[in-house]
Chains A and B, each alone.
Chain A
Amino acid sequence: MLDWLTDPFAGGLMQRALAEVLILAVACGPLGVWVLLYRQSYAAESLSHAMLPGLVIAVLAGAPLLLGAAGGVLAAAAAIALASRDERLGGDAGVAVAIATLFGLGALLALSPDVPARLGELLFGDLLGVTGRDLVEAGILAAAIALALALAHRRLAMSVFDRAAARSLGARPARWELVLLVLLAVCTVAAVRGLGNLLVVALILAPGAAALNLTTRLPAALGLAAALAGLAGVLGLVASYHWEVAAGASVALAAVLVFAVSLLGARPLDMA
């Protein structure tokens, strides 16, 4: 059994893939908890979809994917923030308008005859193609996200728990909502090389949802979410190796499986 688990990681490709998912777990897990608490799951999914134009433009321009992803995600974050401020639209409708526009633009660019056949890699990542440089980039971004979440912890908590009193307590909810969206954007950028902009959402949301099912205290949920994201990464890579299926998709499905199992042990929400 132990060999079945360790054999896949004998080679360099799988070792780098493992390092990549463990690095991403440190950022994706805790960030997912906050995204769920802020009820921004839809924004998380939408942001990752909306970065497509930036990725395609990067491919067209021969620029680093990271740069294109950053540009695309920041443009998406700004568009969502702008659209959501229009009270006639409301939050979800604002996101939908912004994302439909950007995804349409991305598809338009992607269908250009000048785009090399790397669109699939953009959408679904390439965990087994991760290089040492990719690991360094992901590591820096993941560390930055973890540090930012630690420093913002109290303000994020005040802003979402009690929005009405947040300002009197010393936090400005709108500012911290924006901070969360920016961190979400950075996390999507960090994960796009390995998981692609469609699959990354699973590693952000599923472990966070599982952790919230299993704990009643915030610090425990944040730590558990990171651990479960790492577990999903390992399980996904092992499954990918033995059953010869796509690594990124396996990790995403493993994350969803972890969430499904967490439902069995979910604590009832004993609200008065």
Chain B
Amino acid sequence: MRVEGLSGGCAPGMRVEGLSGGYAPGSDALTGVGFALEAGTIAAVLGPNGGGKTTLFRALLGELPVQRGLVELEGRPAYVPQTDRTRLDFPVSALDVVLMGAYGRTPAWRRIARADRDAARAALDRVGLAAEARRRFGALSGGQRQRILIARALLQDSPLVLLDEPLSGVDAASAARIEQVFEELRAERRVLLVATHDVEQARRWDRVLCVNGEQVAFGPPAETLTTDVLRRTYGPELVVLEGGRRAVAVEHHEH
């Protein structure tokens, strides 16, 4: 069962119970997921490639073909994919991409509202790319494109934002700006669920959800980011450094 639009107040921003599912009947890609995130929380989702991070996001977006369990969301989540999943040859400017965040609430026969156009420019400014508004999206750097997609999520104005490895492979300036926006969104009482391979990054956020085909652990970073949990999450992909004080998950990129 999936419910969007829970009332605010004391209700959690996101609640998941007994979530299992996959892409075909009888072969679950992810099982036994249950957690709750209150408003104003940044949660990291850690797991190896193929461990179920994308499956979890698709379930939260209501796109998983086979899905069991309960998903309660405060509203329709905004989703920020990795920038290489967008079409770089598509003839659109950075501002055009941000404006897509208002398409869902604009009837097909109406122009985009002036308020939304203003909000789109403000979102670009917030991610530090106001000067690039008219540049073609595909001509921007990877970090800039990632910031544009985050600006689009800002225009969607959703209480829940799902981000798929938004800091992977981006330049330092973009990463700093993105982390600053995360902090602002947390202060605005939004919920951010961020898929990442970076254990040290996850340590700075409020909650960590570890998955590897099933939920391995969920809780504050101090309780979840233990060597034991990380070994169960990543298996042989985990490298422990500095006498056990630091753990690094080895990233595998498909080409």
Contacts and interface: CB of A to CB of B under 8 A. Distances in A.
B76 A157 contact: no
Contacts of A212: 91
A161 B86 contact: yes
Contacts of B108: 151-155
Contact of A167 (B61, B93, B96, B156): B61
A116 interface: no
B139 interface: yes
Contact of A162 (B77, B100, B109, B144): B100
Contacts of A158: 100, 103
Contact of B100 (A169, A220, A272): A169
B139 A270 contact: yes
B87 A168 contact: no
A240 interface: no
Interface residues of A, number: 30
Given A168-B156, A170-B104, A271-B138, A160 B90 contact: yes
Contacts of A216: 91, 136
B63 to A, nearest CB: 6
Contacts of B254: none
A257 interface: no
A191 B200 CA distance: 61
A131 interface: no
Contacts, number: 96
Interface of A: 37, 151-155, 157-158, 160-165, 167-171, 212, 215-218, 220-221, 269-272
B211 interface: no
Contacts of A171: 103-104
B88 interface: yes
Central interface residue in B61, B80, B87, by most chain A CB within 10 Å = B87
A154 B63 contact: no
A165 B81 contact: yes
Given A217-B91, A218-B92, A272-B141, A169 B101 contact: yes
Nearest to B160: A168
A220 B96 CA distance: 13
A269 B88 CA distance: 9
